[in-house]
Amino acid sequence: MHSRRTVLTSAAAAAAAAAAGAAPTHATAPAIGPQPSPAAAPAPSAATRARLRRLISRMSPEEKAGQLFVMRVYGHSATDPDPADADANRKEIGVANAAELIAKYHVGGIIYFGWAHNTRDPHQIADLSNGIQKAAAAQRVPVPLLISTDQEHGIVARVGAPATLFPGAMALGAGGSRDDARTAARVAGQELYAMGIRQDYAPDADVNVNPANPVIGVRSFGADPQAVARMVAAEVKGYQSAGIAACAKHFPGHGDTDTDSHIGLPYIHHTAEEWERLDAPPFRAAIAAGIDSIMTAHIVVPAFDPSEDPATLSRPILTGILRERLGYDGVVVTDSLGMEGVRKKYGDARVPVLALKAGVDQLLNPPDLAVAHAAVLKAVAEGELSERDIDAKLMRILLLKERRGLFKDPYTTPGAVDRVVGTRGHLATADRIADRTTTLLRNDAGILPLSRRRERRVLVAGVDAAAPSGTGGPPTTVLAKALTELGFTATALSTGMLPTQQQIDEAVAALGERDAVVVATYNVSADSRQRKLVAALLATGKPVVQLAVRNPYDIAQLDGVRAALASYSWTDVELRAAARVIAGRRDPAGRLPVAIMRADAPAQPLYRIGHGLTY
């Protein structure tokens, strides 16, 4: 496993070293310091609680179990999906559409995905949301659904243009402005609300101290726990001020792993003291800010649970630490139960039961809903899960729905979409925020900014990463277009993530007719063929500007590059901002929120947190 100690920032490494100690060997949550009193939402009235208790008392066991699930469903319509989507629903869920899903399983929530064809455009999304709520209202015990999605922005965005898309978490971390983070979340929340979505699985509260992390990376605000905590709290306040339930993820912290929990089971080898210093601050900040929900991680933390159950299924972690130590009494939702990290140790029938026993309230996206629903019912019938505990979970979920206005009015309107989603003012706000995020890492000999007189003809080469649906791209095309609009004559040439020798030769030949090249790189490793492309472009003697369009660590692998930038994503809003910096229309204002370590000496920083040049 990649050693965490080789990639921490200097301050974090010193703190971790000072706190190093033996991991506890007991299954109870260790003492982790004094606990601040979390700032809670206004307490619901006695009348509200009584009304919700009456609602719960009307539910059958099947309805109660269903309310604990948040499920995917294919299709753009609640009742009339495309035939292929209806077939996919029948195959995976045993129903044809969202309305049938609600009628059969009484689910408490539905999650939207682009790949499930839920998010074609804002008006379609609003119609789908209204159709779902109409189906819920027609049930024997009508309960509005909590409709959710993963709209982190940056590299994770389920709703694309014409909705407003903001820089992702690490870009905002580079900007360093809590006001910008709060504004981005508030505006994004307003647009989600107008489309009938009332929960966003954001912000990401992981502290990304491991450059080898394959699943978090730029989804995190950075590697400084206190800085991440400030940004997380700002986004929580922004989303929830817009009426959206925010969700901090992935508890107890997914930032120091080199395994992707979608395909494996990661281990976090932090001691309790290291966790307190490195992972806990953002979750504490989220709770203090009144966070509505917290998502679990499918990770093993032996210091907290020597049984080596993933945190999603660990009572010492979810009840012992999150509930009791941190004092959190909001909704706890699992990460997707279809991920391999939670399925490795137990079968699909045991996972939902163990998660509920551990302290979970909502079960997200099980691979087989029929199996999961039946397992929960069986556990209640046999006394493994008490009805009293199920009712307490339902109360948390219903209180969240009450707080977000779903019992009052779960619907939206076409007019709300037109007034709110993708407005000129919102788009301008996103551009202004993006202008404060691009980071200039290196600028030897003043290569940047490029001059329209000296380097008028520009080649834009490199990767064309697959952008999230509707978020724009491809990167070389977006950059070339943006530079052309800024007065250059720019031409795009995609060479891919694995450029062949022929593609490299074509790029070199194309540069021969131009004055400079901007090369977009993507997660360059020691054996990446992108290194060969950059070396060949450098050998021409023409000015080469390297732009990291995902993780900012690429420069450590690219010897000889004299002008290097990081945009932290390949989405349009960040690429346009990078183009303005390259063209000298904006000064680079971003500062590294993570350390970049040397490739030849991974324990030594090449650039520390806070590094960033200006013109």
The distance of Cα 422 from the centroid of its chain, to the nearest Å, equals 21
Q: Of the candidates 126, 145, 123, which has an alpha carbon nearest to the alpha carbon of residue 135?
A: 145
User: Is 391 annotated as catalytic?
Assistant: no
| Catalytic choice (335, 361, 431, 572) | 335
Look at residues 337, 335, 298, 305 and name the one whose alpha carbon lies nearest to residue 320.
305
- H or E element: which one contains 401? helix 387-403
Between CA 467 and CA 255, with CA 614 as vertex, the angle to 5 degrees is: 45
Select which of 2, 260, 262, 329 is catalytic: 262
The helix (run of H) or strand (run of E) holding residue 493 is strand 489-494
Q: What is the 3-state secondary structure (H, E, C) of 186-212?
A: HHHHHHHHHCCCCEECCCECCCCCCCC
Burial class (CB in 10 A: 0-12, 13-18, 19+), 357: middle
Q: Are 337 and 372 in contact (CB under 8 A)?
A: yes
- 3-class state of residue 434 by DSSP: helix
Q: Report the chain's C-alpha Rg in angstroms.
A: 24
Q: Is the peptide bond before 38 cis (omega within 30 degrees of 0)?
A: no
Is 254 a residue of the active site? no
Task: Tell me the residue ranges of DSSP E strands in 325-414.
Answer: 331-333, 363-364
What is residue 69's DSSP assignment? Answer: E
As a whole number of angstroms, the distance between CA 222 and CA 514 comes to 37
Q: Which token pair is 108?
A: 């408490």
CA–CA distances in Å: residue 254 to residues 196, 221, 535, 556, 596:
30, 13, 34, 24, 19
Q: Which residues are catalytic?
A: 262, 335
